[in-house]
C-alpha cells in the first residue's frame, strides 16, 4: 500500500479532516458510558445529589455535623457557608427555595469551585455518616459520597426542597448531554462516511487512469510480460479491492485505536482493580487475530492469482468460441474452466469459513467477558468498592474495546488482500517502458521523403535465448512497394513491428529519412506511419468513427476516397445507415475481409508517407486484392509501402521483394529476378501458382 501513497496526496486535506472528525466521534462515544454511570450513580441511586456538600443546611444540623470534624475541618467547612437568619438582607431571596428558612436559620453554601467542593466532600460525607450512625472506615473514598447522599437528600427535604425535582432535573440534564453527544457522533459518522467514500472513489479513479495511461505507454514486451487478462484484472478487481479497503481503512483503522486506547484508559479510571479483565480480553483477541492473519493471508495472494487465471481462461474461451465448436472441444474447455473455477471457489470458501468461525469466537469472547465483568463487578459493589453505574460503564468500555479489536481484526483480514492488489497495481505503475523517447529528440521536419533503411539489424525477443532476426539490411524507397515473404516464423511481422518501435532492435539501426528511429519521439515517428495490423482491430461505435480514428478532422471527401480505395464502398452502401452503421465490439458484426478493408481504409484516411501492411490482404479474394492494390498504387503512389504476405499474387508487381528464411534474408529483388535467382522464393511461388501464372 505504501507504494501507492503518492496517489493519496490530492485527498490529504479531506483525509485529515475525516481523521479529526473520527476523534470527535470517538470522544463522543467514549463519553456516553460515563454519563450513563452518572445517571445510575447520581441520578438514580443518589436521587440527583451530586456530592456530600449540600447547597444549604439547617443551622442546628450543621452544628451537629461540626461535632464529628476536627477544628481545622470545621473552619474549612464554615468558610464555605454563610449564615442566613431573620436579620439577613438575603433572607427574602432564599425563602422561596428553602421554605424552612421561615422557622429557623440556615447556612447557604457560597463556594461553587469544583476543587474546593471536592476537598470538602470527604469531610462532609464522613460527618453525615457519623451523624446517622454509619461507620465510614470500611467505605472506600469513591463510595463516601454515594453513602452520604441519602443524608444530604433528607436534609434537602427538611429544608422544604422538592427532592423529586432535583432528581428529575439531574437525569434530564445529563440525558440531554448524552443526546447531544449522540447527535454529534452521528453527524461525524455521516460526514466521515461521505468523505471516505469520496476519497476511495477518487483514488480508484486516479489509479485506473494511471494504470491505463501506463499501459498505453507499454511496448509489446511489457504487454507480453503481464498478459492482457492480468492487466484487466489489475485495472478492475484489484483496484476495487483497494477502493473497498480505503473506505474501511478511514472508517475503522483510524477509529478503532482511538476507541481501544480511550476505552482502556476510561475503564481503568472506573475501576483500576479490574485491569486484568481487560488484559485477558485483549490477549484472547490478539491470539485470535494473529491466527486468522496467519491462515488467511496466503490464501488471499492465491485468490488474486486464481482470478487472473480465471480471466485468462474465460477470455480465451469466449474469443475462441468458434474454434472450440469447430473441433467439438466444448467439454474440454468446460473441464478446463471448471478446474480454475473450482480452485478459486475452494480458496474463497476457505477464507469465508475462517471469517464464519471467527465471528462466533469473537462473540463468545464478548459474552464471556460480559459475564466476567458482571461477576467481578458485583463482588466489588457488594464490598462497597465500586458503584453500580461504574460497573455498567466498565462493561460498556470493555465492549467498546472488544469492538475496536473486532474492527481491527476485520482490517487484518481485508488489508492483506488489498495489499496484494496494491502490489499488483504498483507493479504495473512502476514498470518503466523499455521503449522511451530520447531526452532531446530529433525532428523530421516538413521535408520528409519516407525512405526506410535497415542497417545490419538483429533482434531478440525479451527473455528469448536466440535472435529471431539476423543481420537484416535493406532500403525501402518512397513511391515503391517493398514486400516480405517467407515461411511461417521467418520474421516478416517482426520486421514490420520494429519500424514503429513496438520493439527496439537488439543490434544495428533502423533509419527513416536518414534518422535513427530511436533518436526521434515515438509520436513524431508514428504520425508518419499508417499501420494495418495482421489481426484487424475495430472499436465499438460506428463505421465512420472507426475510420476517423486515424484523423478526427478528416474531411468527408477524404473518408469517402479512403473507403473507395480500400474496396469497402460496396458493402458499406448496402447497410441502411451507411457510414453511420453501428459497429459491434471488435467488429463482430462484419466478416474477416470486411474488417481488413475497414482497417486499410482507416490507415488511408491518415494519408501518411509510410504504409505498413502486415498480412492484411489474406482475407480478400484475388479480384478485390488486385483492385485494392491498383487503387492504392494510383492514390498513394508517392508513399513508401511495406507489405507482409504469404500470397505470391499479392506481391508479383512489387518493386522489391525480400525473401526471409529463419530470420535471415535469402533473396532480394523483383519477382522475375527471384524466380531465377532464389530457390526459396521459387518453391513458394510454384506451391501457389503454375509456371504460366508466374510468367
Cα 665–Cα 529–Cα 654 angle in degrees, nearest 5: 45
**Number of Cβ within a 10 Å radius of residue 389:** 25
pLDDT tens profile 518-556:
999 988 888 899 998 888 888 888 888 888 888 888 888
Would you state the pLDDT for residue 136? 60
Contact 499, 510 (CB under 8 A): yes
Contact 180, 188 (CB under 8 A): no
The boundaries of every CATH 1.20.1560.10 domain in the chain are: 2-34+171-277+285-429
Cα angle, residue 620 at apex, residues 615 and 626 outer, rounded to 5°: 95
Grid coordinates in use for 594?
470486411
pLDDT tens, residue by residue, 7-54: 888 999 999 999 999 999 999 999 999 899 889 888 888 888 888 899
Which DSSP helix (H) or strand (E) runs through 251? none
* Exposure letters 11-24 (e unless 16+ CB within 10 A, then b): beebbeebeebbeb
**Residue 530: beta bridge partners?**
611
Instruction: Report the distance separating Cα 267 and Cα 390, nearest Å.
Output: 9
Is there a contact between 530 and 559 (Cβ–Cβ < 8 Å)? Answer: no
Non-local CB neighbours of 216 within 8 Å, separated by 6+ positions: none
In this structure, which long-range contacts are made by residues 580-586, counting pairs with CB atoms below 8 Å and at least 24 apart in sequence? 580/542, 580/543, 580/544, 581/542, 581/543, 582/541, 582/542, 583/538, 583/539, 583/540, 583/541, 583/542, 583/543, 583/545, 583/546, 584/540, 585/539, 585/540, 586/537, 586/538
Taking Cα atoms as reference points, which of 437, 436, 435, 608 lies closest to residue 521? 437
Give the CA distances from residue 249 to residues 165, 199, 411, 478, in Å, rounded to whole numbers and listed in that order. 47, 11, 7, 61
Whether 255 and 196 have beta carbons less than 8 Å apart is answered as: no
For residue 660, the model assigns a pLDDT of 92
**Phi/psi-derived region of residue 479, left when phi > 0, alpha when psi is between -120 and 50, beta in every other case:** left
Residues 444 and 513: their CA atoms lie apart, in Å, by 8
pLDDT at 370: 85
- CATH superfamily for domain 2-34+171-277+285-429: ABC transporter type 1, transmembrane domain (1.20.1560.10)
Q: Exposure of 320 by Cβ count < 10 A (0-12 exposed, 13-18 middle, 19+ buried)? A: middle
Closest CA to 510 of 469, 462, 465, 463: 469
Q: What are the CA-CA distances from residue 253 to residues 250, 415, 481, 572, 624 (Å)?
A: 6, 10, 66, 59, 66
| H-helix or E-strand spanning residue 616 | none
Instruction: Mark the ranges of the chain whose per-residue pLDDT is less than 50.
Output: none
- Enumerate the β-bridge partners of residue 611: 530, 641
Phi-psi bin for 616: left (phi > 0), alpha (psi -120 to 50), beta?
alpha
Distance between CA atoms of 679 and 626, rounded to whole angstroms? 26
Q: Which residue has the cell 480514428?
A: 549
CATH number for domain 535-607, candidates 3.90.120.10, 3.40.50.300, 1.25.40.10, 3.40.50.720: 3.40.50.300
Sign of the alpha-carbon torsion through 13, 14, 16, 17: positive
pTM for this model (two decimals):
0.73
Comma-separated ranges of CATH 3.40.50.300 domains in the chain:
444-528+610-629+642-695, 535-607
CA distance 46 to 128: 14
Residue 514, CA atoms < 13 Å, CB-side half-sphere: 6
- For 448, the 3-state DSSP assignment is coil
In which element (H, E) is residue 471 found? strand 469-476
**DSSP helix/strand/coil, 381:** helix
C-alpha cell at 18: 475525516
Cα separation values, 198 from 134, 205, 248, Å: 63, 10, 12
pLDDT value, residue 202: 93
Alpha-helix runs per DSSP H in 218-329: 220-226, 228-233, 239-248, 255-270, 275-319, 321-326
Question: Distance between CA atoms of 159 and 57, rounded to whole angstroms?
Answer: 7
**CB 662, CB 672: distance < 8 Å:** no
CATH class, 444-528+610-629+642-695 region: alpha beta
CB neighbour list of residue 257: distance below 8 Å, 6 or more residues apart: 404, 408
Owner of C-alpha cell 502490489:
423
d(CA 452, CA 484): 14
Distances from the Cα of 546 to the Cαs of 392, 586, 603, in angstroms? Answer: 71, 11, 10
Q: Is the dihedral of CA 461, 463, 466, 471 positive or negative?
A: positive
Cell readout for 537 is: 482491430
Q: What is the pLDDT of residue 137?
A: 58
pLDDT of res. 199:
94
3-state secondary structure of 83: strand
Order across the sheet with 106-109: list the strands: 56-58, 106-109, 81-84
Distance separating alpha carbons of residues 688 and 501, to the nearest angstrom? 33
State residue 566 phi and psi, 5-degree precision.
Answer: -80, 5
Cβ atoms 608, 639 nearer than 8 A: yes
Q: Are the C-beta atoms of 260 and 543 separated by less than 8 Å?
A: no
Task: For residue 667, list its beta bridge partners.
Answer: 659
Amino acid at each position: 500500500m505504501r507504494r501507492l501513497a503518492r496517489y493519496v496526496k490530492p485527498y490529504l486535506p479531506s483525509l485529515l479532516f475525516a481523521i479529526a472528525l473520527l476523534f470527535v466521534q470517538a470522544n463522543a462515544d467514549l463519553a456516553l458510558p460515563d454519563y450513563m454511570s452518572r445517571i445510575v450513580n447520581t441520578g438514580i441511586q443518589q436521587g440527583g445529589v451530586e456530592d456530600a456538600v449540600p447547597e444549604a443546611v439547617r443551622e442546628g444540623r450543621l452544628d451537629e455535623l461540626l461535632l464529628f470534624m476536627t477544628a481545622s475541618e470545621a473552619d474549612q467547612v464554615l468558610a464555605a457557608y454563610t449564615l442566613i437568619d431573620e436579620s439577613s438582607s438575603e433572607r427574602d431571596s432564599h425563602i422561596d427555595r428553602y421554605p424552612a428558612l421561615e422557622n429557623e436559620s440556615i447556612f447557604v453554601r457560597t463556594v461553587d469551585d469544583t476543587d474546593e467542593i471536592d476537598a470538602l466532600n470527604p469531610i462532609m460525607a464522613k460527618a453525615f455518616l457519623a451523624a446517622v450512625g454509619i461507620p465510614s472506615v470500611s467505605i472506600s473514598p469513591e463510595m463516601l459520597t454515594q453513602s452520604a447522599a441519602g443524608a444530604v437528600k433528607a436534609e434537602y427535604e427538611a429544608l422544604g426542597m422538592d427532592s423529586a425535582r432535583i432528581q428529575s432535573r439531574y437525569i434530564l440534564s445529563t440525558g440531554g448531554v448524552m443526546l447531544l453527544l449522540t447527535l454529534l457522533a452521528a453527524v461525524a459518522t455521516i460526514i466521515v462516511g461521505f468523505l471516505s467514500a469520496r476519497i476511495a472513489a477518487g483514488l480508484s479513479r486516479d489509479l485506473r487512469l494511471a494504470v491505463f495511461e501506463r499501459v498505453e505507454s507499454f511496448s509489446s514486451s511489457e504487454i507480453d510480460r503481464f498478459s492482457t487478462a492480468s492487466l484487466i484484472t489489475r485495472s478492475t478487481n484489484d483496484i476495487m479491492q483497494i477502493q473497498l479497503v480505503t473506505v474501511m481503512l478511514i472508517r475503522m483503522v483510524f477509529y478503532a485505536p482511538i476507541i481501544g486506547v480511550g476505552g482502556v484508559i476510561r475503564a481503568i479510571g472506573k475501576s483500576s482493580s479490574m485491569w486484568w479483565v481487560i488484559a485477558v480480553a485483549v490477549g484472547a483477541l490478539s491470539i485470535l487475530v494473529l491466527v486468522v492473519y496467519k491462515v488467511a493471508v496466503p490464501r488471499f495472494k492465491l485468490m488474486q492469482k486464481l482470478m487472473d487465471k480465471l480471466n485468462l481462461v474465460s477470455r480465451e474461451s469466449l474469443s475462441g468460441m468458434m474454434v472450440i465448436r469447430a473441433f467439438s472441444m466444448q467439454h474440454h474447455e468446460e473441464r478446463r474452466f471448471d478446474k480454475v473455477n473450482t480452485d478459486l471457489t475452494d480458496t474463497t470458501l476457505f477464507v469465508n469459513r475462517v471469517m464464519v468461525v471467527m465471528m462466533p469466537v469473537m462473540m463468545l469472547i464478548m459474552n464471556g467477558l460480559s459475564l466476567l465483568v458482571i461477576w467481578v463487578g458485583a463482588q466489588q459493589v457488594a464490598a462497597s468498592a465500586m458503584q453500580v453505574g461504574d460497573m455498567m460503564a466498565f462493561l460498556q468500555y470493555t465492549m467498546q474495546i472488544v469492538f475496536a479489536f473486532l474492527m481491527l481484526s476485520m482490517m487484518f483480514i481485508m488489508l492483506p488482500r488489498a495489499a496484494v492488489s496494491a502490489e499488483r497495481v504498483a507493479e504495473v505503475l512502476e514498470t518503466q517502458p523499455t521503449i522511451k523517447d530520447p531526452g532531446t529528440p530529433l525532428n523530421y521536419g516538413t521535408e520528409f521523403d519516407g525512405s526506410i533503411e535497415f542497417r545490419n539489424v538483429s533482434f531478440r525477443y525479451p527473455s528469448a535465448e536466440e535472435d529471431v532476426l539476423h543481420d537484416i539490411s535493406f532500403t525501402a524507397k518512397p513511391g515503391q512497394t517493398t514486400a516480405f515473404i517467407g515461411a511461417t516464423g521467418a520474421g516478416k511481422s517482426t520486421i514490420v513491428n520494429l519500424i514503429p518501435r513496438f520493439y527496439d532492435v537488439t543490434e544495428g539501426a533502423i533509419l527513416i529519412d536518414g534518422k535513427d528511429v530511436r533518436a526521434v519521439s515515438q509520436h513524431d515517428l508514428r504520425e508518419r506511419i499508417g499501420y494495418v495490423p495482421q489481426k484487424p482491430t475495430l472499436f465499438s461505435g460506428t463505421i465512420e468513427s472507426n475510420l476517423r480514428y486515424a484523423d478526427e478532422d478528416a474531411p468527408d471527401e477524404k473518408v469517402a476516397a479512403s473507403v473507395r480505395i480500400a474496396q469497402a464502398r460496396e458493402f458499406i452502401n448496402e447497410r441502411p445507415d451507411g457510414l453511420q452503421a453501428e459497429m459491434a465490439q471488435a467488429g463482430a458484426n462484419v466478416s474477416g475481409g470486411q474488417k481488413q478493408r475497414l482497417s486499410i481504409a482507416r490507415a488511408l484516411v491518415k494519408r501518411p508517407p509510410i504504409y505498413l501492411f502486415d498480412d492484411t490482404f489474406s482475407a480478400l479474394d484475388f479480384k478485390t486484392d488486385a483492385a485494392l492494390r491498383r487503387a492504392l498504387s494510383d492514390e498513394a503512389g508517392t508513399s513508401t509501402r511495406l507489405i507482409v504476405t504469404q500470397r505470391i499474387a499479392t506481391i508479383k508487381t512489387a518493386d522489391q521483394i525480400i525473401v526471409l528464411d529463419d530470420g535471415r534474408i535469402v533473396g532480394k529483388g523483383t519477382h522475375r529476378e527471384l524466380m531465377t535467382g532464389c530457390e526459396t522464393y521459387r518453391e513458394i511461388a510454384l506451391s501457389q501458382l503454375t509456371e504460366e501464372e508466374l510468367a
